[in-house]
Amino acid sequence: MAHQGMDTALFERRLRPIYDNLEVGNNRKALQESEKLLRKHPSMLCARALKGLALLRLGRYEESHGCLQAVAEDKPTDDSTLQVLSFCYREMEQLNKIVELYQHAVKKNPGNEELLAHLFISYVRVEDYKAQQAVALQLYKAQPKNAYYFWSVISVVFQGIRGPESAVPEKRKIYLGLAQRMVEKHIREGKLESEQEAFLYLHILKLQKKFQEAWEFLTGELCAKLYPGAPVSMKFELLKVLGNWRELNELLQQLLDADRDRWDYYKEYIQSCFEILKLPITEGATEEKKFSLSACQEFLQGIIDSSERKKRGPYLARLELHQRMRAHQLPADQLIGDFDELVVEYFSLFADKSCCTHDIALFLPSVSMKQRQALANKLLLESGVSSTSLPMNKEQMQKHICALQISRMCGAHIDLPIDHLLAFYTALKLHYEHGRSTFGNKLLSTEMGPSDPYALLAANVMYDISLRENKSDYLFEALCLLQYVLRNSTSNFHVKLLSLKIYHMFGCLLGAQEMYEYLDIKQIQLDSMGYVHCQLLPLCGRFSGARNSYDTTMKFFTNSYKERLEYIALTYRFCTFSKMEEFLNFKERLTNSLQYVTCSLEAQICDLVSCYANVHQNLSTYTVMSIEPAEDRIAWHELSDNRDLDAIIRWDPLHQVDADAERKDSFDQEIEVLQLRSLMLRLYATFIDLYHPPPITKPSLSDGSKEETPAPAVESATSTLELLRDSWTGLYQRLRLMNYKPLPQQFLVNLLPTRLHLLLELPYERFFDDLAQLVLDLHSGAASLAAHCKKVGDNVIAVMELCVRTIEESNEWNNKDGLWKRRYQQQKVAASLEMLSLYAFLLSVLNDKLQVSSKTKVKKKQGDNKTQDTPQPVSEKERSQMVQELMRQLKHKLEACDAAIRTWKAPVLPRDLSSFMADMSLKPEVEATLIGDVSATFKDSHELMVTELRNLLKDKIRMVAK
């Protein structure tokens, strides 16, 4: 090593300024500092590596690549240089390079623990379990620590259950058997030390279905000593698979005696009772069948009778027993009592807690619709609040709320005539106001109002009415009510979520944005909750507004993508064997999140739609995106649905809600939408690439690091274009055949329709298909060019007309209902402008290219043309003129769109709301500001959108003006 003789302290002092500048993001200065240092010490590896890092950060990939490559070829062994290099390779996702780096370093310093540990982790990053195993053993040899030994054990396990050979049962068996023997050898030598090691041994046994051995170990002395905190659920699981129901039953009785509110224990306990019933009859058997279940009932009753403080546990367990007995056609009523009475009893004991609704809901599906509705009425009666009375106290109010929620779940409201529903809504509103003024004062800002659930229910009811009438009035009133509630109880996120939904339904993006910000969604919530806002933004009417929201989300994803492998490395560092598979799966889920992929794609489309600079700047924006259309980068079969759909509370009739189907249908459709959008972008990119071939400089960021040959760019671009164009029309054909149904909009909390039907309905397919032909013809100068110009021109007219007509319709709708169709109208306008904007950018690129080439007469191009069999290609000059003609036409149509948008009226809001407000007994000044604020939000939202769309058009008009 060049600097080995040098004093390390001196060395570090010299490097310090580079590190410091990198740390604060001053990459230019860091580069200068490194160059300065390298002038004095040209061979100093770490300084060279840091220079590579600075270049990387400055986006000078090619130079950075060369610089890092040169350092790597010197095969460094010092920690600081290695750290810098692996950091760079991690940034660039060239994980195999890190492996090579440490392989060389280890070769030079065999047995060096630190380097070996780095090598091990670098294999962890690429999930090479076999290599992991080998390195772990070397580590153990170098330094006999338990951690290293067990690193090799888990690496063997992973070869058996996750690695490439895990699909072969014999291989799996061999690996798991080996792992078991490795641990057992360690146990024999008395070297097992930690609970995670004990966990791993149990896990290995369970993976091989050696349950008896696992049981013996778990209940043995060694495990008790090493793993005192072993979850008791491990015992249940083993007793269950071993069929040891009687022992399980006894164990659970003991546990329940000590801990009387544990649902997991009750559930297993009741199951064990039913399993004992099934056991073959042995001696004294005739008694046993009855004995088991009545013992269960007695046991539960005993807990109820002996508990001082009433806990929900045993009561719920009794309902569960009842439900299961009925499912087995056993006489539940006889043994336990009447189901309705049990529920009513439960209600009278616990309905003052808000969880009671969730509890009772668990048992409703097991009884008939008729019984459900009868039960709902009993509960309403039991609550003691009638249509003419008000709750006497907070507890009674909560009971009333619970009874109403359950009534809705039982379908009691859904078939009522509209005037009944309206009366019900009024009652809910009054109950809200009464509860707020009577029991809701002195609320902390962090608390939800106790009567808020009335208002939430009211909003749902108003949606039902709106849907039946196909009118927005009622729902708009609900929105005002929710906004009113939000003023009183600022932390109620249910109110924010429902408001957000309604704002989106009405196309009010500003209101939606406000609610979204109010929810303070961040970090992983951006993934799991993105569906309430981000997923609804594409084509909603604003481009740059939406782009900002994508940005926040993208920041989270890019960050976690970078860190994803370090989380896994962490589990190795702490030897947390119980979490490794979980972390590996989590990584997959996060990186394949549909939200992630959708968001990054829509952000790209958005950037191309809204680019506004001159053609060269726009092209370099485009180049940075490195779309590489030939490559489909989306792992379609791995896409993961990370949405937390349960975060939005609902009490919709259980018999009409199929949450799983809703999840699946919406996810399937979102994937189809993603297909359309991704293909549109890639196809569009081939148009650009044909005229503006991408530079070949940037090294591939993917790990495959395949050699990028300076391919015959034009031919490959043409063939990719043709290929993608076929896929494009093929995809449309398939989607039409699939005949997807729009997502049902039966209830307020249902997901809004996906964009699938919009994209199928609007002329996207033809627009881009014809554009593809135009681009090809322009390139070759084919004789059909003029005809295709005409086609594309006609498409442009059609899209412009679509835009203008939609706005006219929207203005007409304003006379009857300004909100009901608003979102859909805005989507159509946005989609029209999206198509025209992309087209404008394309024309500007074509024009730029053709102007240049018709002036300079590039020889190569003519050569190209000769190879084609067209007799007389249209001259470049003519082509250039044709493009200019298209630009003139587009400019004209864009102006027509702009004129229409100028006339677009803000939505007229429903009738005056004074009666609504009168019911709320509000002070006049509150009333005025509330309605005023909501109305202003709609008005401002519209104006913002119009301004943004007009700016977009202005940019595009400028783009095609020359």
- Are the C-beta atoms of 723 and 781 separated by less than 8 Å? no
At residue 269, what is the residue type?
Answer: Y
Task: State the Cα–Cα distance between residues 495 and 26, nearest whole angstrom.
Answer: 45
Among 354, 851, 881, 884, binds another protein (CB under 8 A): 354
Q: How far is the CB of 836 from another protein (least distance, A)?
A: 39
- Binding status of residue 591 toward another protein by CB under 8 A: no
Chain centre to alpha carbon of residue 941? 27
List Cβ neighbours of 571 (8 Å cut-off, separation of 6 or more): 577, 579, 580, 583
DSSP one-letter code for 352: T
- Are the C-beta atoms of 482 and 930 separated by less than 8 Å? no
Taking the least distance from each CB to another protein, the nearer of 662 and 777 is 662
Taking the least distance from each CB to another protein, the nearer of 184 and 514 is 514
Q: How far is the CB of 267 from another protein (least distance, A)?
A: 8
The tally of CA atoms less than 13 A away on the side-chain side of residue 333 is 4
Residues 605-644 that bind another protein (CB under 8 A): 642, 644
Residue 59 structure tokens: 């986006």
- Binding status of residue 929 toward another protein by CB under 8 A: no
- Stretch of 348-356, 619-627, 650-658, 794-802 contacting another protein, by CB under 8 A: 348-356
Q: Could you write out the DSSP letters of every residue in 42-92?
A: TT-HHHHHHHHHHHHHTT-HHHHHHHHHHHHHT---SHHHHHHHHHHHHHT
- Binding status of residue 359 toward another protein by CB under 8 A: yes
Taking the least distance from each CB to another protein, the nearer of 574 and 636 is 574
At residue 302, what is the residue type?
Answer: G
Alpha helices in 692-784 (DSSP H): 713-738, 756-761, 764-780
List Cβ neighbours of 818 (8 Å cut-off, separation of 6 or more): 472, 907, 908, 909, 910
Taking the least distance from each CB to another protein, the nearer of 638 and 895 is 638
- Binding status of residue 583 toward another protein by CB under 8 A: yes
Residue 253 dihedral angles phi and psi, to the nearest 5°: -60, -40
- Are the C-beta atoms of 952 and 543 separated by less than 8 Å? yes
- Residue 928: CB atoms within 10 A of its CB come to 12
Contact string (CB under 8 A) for another protein, positions 640-679, x = contact = --x-x-xx-x------------------------------
Residues 756-795 that bind another protein (CB under 8 A): none
- Binding status of residue 262 toward another protein by CB under 8 A: yes
Residues 191-210 that bind another protein (CB under 8 A): 195
Contact string (CB under 8 A) for another protein, positions 438-467, x = contact = -------xx-x-------------------
- Stretch of 215-223, 224-232, 371-379, 901-909 contacting another protein, by CB under 8 A: 224-232
Q: How far is the CB of 146 from another protein (least distance, A)?
A: 17
Q: Residues 254-259: contacts with CB within 8 Å, 24+ apart?
A: 256/299, 256/303, 257/303
- Stretch of 180-188, 238-246, 258-266, 842-850 contacting another protein, by CB under 8 A: 258-266
Among 589, 757, 950, 958, binds another protein (CB under 8 A): 589
Q: How far is the CB of 251 from another protein (least distance, A)?
A: 16
Residues that contact another protein, how many (by CB under 8 A) = 56
Among 193, 237, 261, 632, binds another protein (CB under 8 A): 261
Contact string (CB under 8 A) for another protein, positions 307-336, x = contact = ----xxx--x--------------------
- Are the C-beta atoms of 827 and 539 separated by less than 8 Å? yes
- Are the C-beta atoms of 809 and 801 separated by less than 8 Å? no
Taking the least distance from each CB to another protein, the nearer of 313 and 653 is 313
- Are the C-beta atoms of 548 and 957 separated by less than 8 Å? no
Taking the least distance from each CB to another protein, the nearer of 450 and 511 is 450
Taking the least distance from each CB to another protein, the nearer of 5 and 228 is 228
Q: How far is the CB of 568 from another protein (least distance, A)?
A: 9
Name the residue among 630, 739, 645 with its Cα closest to residue 686. Answer: 630
Task: State the Cα–Cα distance between residues 624 and 614, nearest whole angstrom.
Answer: 16
Among 60, 471, 579, 791, binds another protein (CB under 8 A): 579
- Binding status of residue 134 toward another protein by CB under 8 A: no
Q: How far is the CB of 232 from another protein (least distance, A)?
A: 10
Helices 263-278/285-306 angle, 10° precision: 160
Residue 48 structure tokens: 């060279």
- Binding status of residue 710 toward another protein by CB under 8 A: no
- Binding status of residue 87 toward another protein by CB under 8 A: no
- Binding status of residue 519 toward another protein by CB under 8 A: yes
Name the residue among 322, 331, 396 with its Cα closest to residue 364. Answer: 322
At residue 172, what is the residue type?
Answer: R
Task: State the Cα–Cα distance between residues 357 and 749, nearest whole angstrom.
Answer: 18
Taking the least distance from each CB to another protein, the nearer of 3 and 436 is 436
- Residue 248: CB atoms within 10 A of its CB come to 24
Q: How far is the CB of 300 from another protein (least distance, A)?
A: 13
Task: Return the residue matching tokens 């007229």.
Answer: 908
Task: Return the residue matching tokens 């490794």.
Answer: 580
Q: How far is the CB of 12 from another protein (least distance, A)?
A: 23
Taking the least distance from each CB to another protein, the nearer of 642 and 853 is 642
Taking the least distance from each CB to another protein, the nearer of 128 and 268 is 268
- Binding status of residue 269 toward another protein by CB under 8 A: no
Task: State the Cα–Cα distance between residues 129 and 583, nearest whole angstrom.
Answer: 15
Q: Computed from CA positions of residues 324, 329, 333, 338, in that sequence, does the dihedral angle turn out positive or negative? A: positive
Q: How far is the CB of 497 from another protein (least distance, A)?
A: 8
Q: Computed from CA positions of residues 595, 600, 601, 603, in that sequence, does the dihedral angle turn out positive or negative? A: positive
CA distances in angstroms from 38 to 12, 44, 156, 553, 829, listed in the order given: 14, 7, 45, 40, 58
- Are the C-beta atoms of 199 and 577 separated by less than 8 Å? yes
Contact string (CB under 8 A) for another protein, positions 932-951, x = contact = --------------------
Among 56, 529, 599, 886, binds another protein (CB under 8 A): 529
- Binding status of residue 527 toward another protein by CB under 8 A: yes
Residue 313 structure tokens: 């546990």
Among 69, 83, 219, 233, binds another protein (CB under 8 A): 233
Taking the least distance from each CB to another protein, the nearer of 291 and 586 is 586
Taking the least distance from each CB to another protein, the nearer of 412 and 529 is 529
Q: How far is the CB of 947 from another protein (least distance, A)?
A: 33
Contact string (CB under 8 A) for another protein, positions 724-753, x = contact = ------------------------------
Contact string (CB under 8 A) for another protein, positions 548-577, x = contact = ------------x--x--xx--xx-xx-x-
Taking the least distance from each CB to another protein, the nearer of 452 and 769 is 452
Among 361, 374, 797, 944, binds another protein (CB under 8 A): 361
Task: State the Cα–Cα distance between residues 741 and 672, nearest whole angstrom.
Answer: 13
At residue 699, what is the residue type?
Answer: P
Taking the least distance from each CB to another protein, the nearer of 78 and 514 is 514
Task: State the Cα–Cα distance between residues 462 and 478, nearest whole angstrom.
Answer: 6
Residues 20-49 that bind another protein (CB under 8 A): none
Query: Where does this chain bind another protein (CB under 8 A)?
Result: 195, 228-229, 231, 233, 261-264, 266-267, 311-313, 316, 353-355, 358-359, 361-362, 445-446, 448, 491, 493, 519, 522-525, 527-529, 560, 563, 566-567, 570-571, 573-574, 576, 578-579, 582-583, 585-586, 589, 642, 644, 646-647, 649
